[in-house]
Copies of this chain bind each other. A is one copy, B any other.
Amino acid sequence: MATKHILIVPGDGIGQEVTAVGKKVLDKIAAKFGHTFTYDEALIGHVAIEATGNPLPDESLEKMRKSDAVLFGAVGHPKYDNDPSAKVRPEQGLLKMRKELGLYANLRPIKLFDELLGASSIKPEILKGADILFFRELTGDIYFGEKGRKNNGDTAYDIAEYSRYEVERIARKAFDAARTRRKKLCSVDKANVIETSRLWREVVQKVALEYPDVEVEHQFVDATAMLLIKDPRRFDVVVTANLFGDILTDEASQIAGSMGMLASASIGDGTGVYEPIHGSAHDITGKGVANPLASILSAALLLDISFGMKAESEAVISAVDGVLKAGFRTGDIADKQTPADKILGTNAMGEEVLKLL
């Protein structure tokens, strides 16, 4: 019977729609398990720029710092994507949130619900049983190094940077997690070309000495991009840098059938942030068809990791499982066998999950 304060930060596009459903699930859990969850909302991304000129207003950051956990949606808007010279961009809000809250570890569990075996473009016999936990470093690399122009704007540069302690702390988190799983860790880098990757590999090799019970391999990012599809079951825990993690986890979403199924937890020094790995998806925004399950599963991660509420978290996951077993699908996870009346929109899918809670 705990009292917790949760900040809802929907952001842009379908972030608004799916986060509203995630919040309802948290509400239902509170009622069911006798907790008191209080809520507030804050702006980030394009909606924050529109309202305040700032992609992450100080007020939002303050609210994040003061909350026990953040349920986040997505940021982004095609307007900026098509204008490479825009100075203020929604993504700056996201990156600033990650940096200011010290969210250096982004956990992305990739697990296929058995009912969705058919929804992936990968063959079921390759997928069955795949279960990967990604640790993506989230506050360093080329994302946060100095960047700019020279030669009258004709040359652009970005500096990728990593320091030893940054690699160490994410490596430890990944090794700790591997210990609770199948005791295998794959560290992904491009040490045959990139200096930050050579430091990365050096540090992971050193941290590995503290975990003799965990089997470690080092893979290049290009080979990993191939192996993830060829043989996803060979991976247990994967740890990698910010940019490589961005690419590989989006790719790995195909292992889970759809990006619409994948939740993530960003943790570090303070408040944890929980969000779908999908983006703002303006092509389907406002149509009410976005898959809310990634936001619901993000709520499950929030309950587990930030609040230590295992039973509550499992209740959410098994409700999602139940809804899938009952044959309900959003468009992104439907296949040819799905009857039309089982294909639900965002809210209807949310209602089915709530019913099972």
Contact = CB atoms under 8 A, between A and B. Distances in A.
A123 interface: yes
Contacts of A253: 226
Interface stretch (A64-72, A78-86, A267-275, A289-297): A78-86
A162 B251 CA distance: 26
Contact of A161 (B76, B155, B161, B192): B155
A100 interface: no
A199 interface: yes
A145 B123 contact: no
A207 to B, nearest CB: 14
A259 B161 CA distance: 31
A228 B195 CA distance: 29
Interface stretch (A24-32, A217-225, A319-327): A217-225
A184 interface: no
Contacts of A251: 222, 225-226, 228-229, 251
Interface string A113-156: 00000000111001000000000000000110101110100111
Contacts of A85: 198, 202
Given A155-B161, A162-B155, A222 B246 contact: yes
Contacts of A192: 76, 80-81, 89, 91
B254 A230 contact: yes
A249 B106 CA distance: 26
A259 to B, nearest CB: 6
B230 A250 contact: no
Interface residues of A, number: 68
Contact of A81 (B126, B159, B191, B231): B191
A201 interface: yes
A95 interface: yes
B163 A154 contact: yes
A158 interface: yes
A287 interface: no
Nearest to A157: B161
Nearest to A95: B193
Contacts of A246: 190, 221-222
A149 B162 CA distance: 10
Task: Sort A-B residue pairs by CB-CB distance and give the 8 closest, nearest first.
Answer: A156-B199, A225-B251, A222-B250, A84-B198, A147-B195, A121-B126, A84-B201, A155-B163
Given A85-B198, A142-B160, A158-B159, 16 more contacts: A84-B197, A84-B201, A121-B126, A142-B193, A143-B193, A145-B157, A147-B194, A147-B195, A151-B163, A157-B159, A159-B159, A221-B246, A222-B251, A225-B225, A226-B251, A226-B253
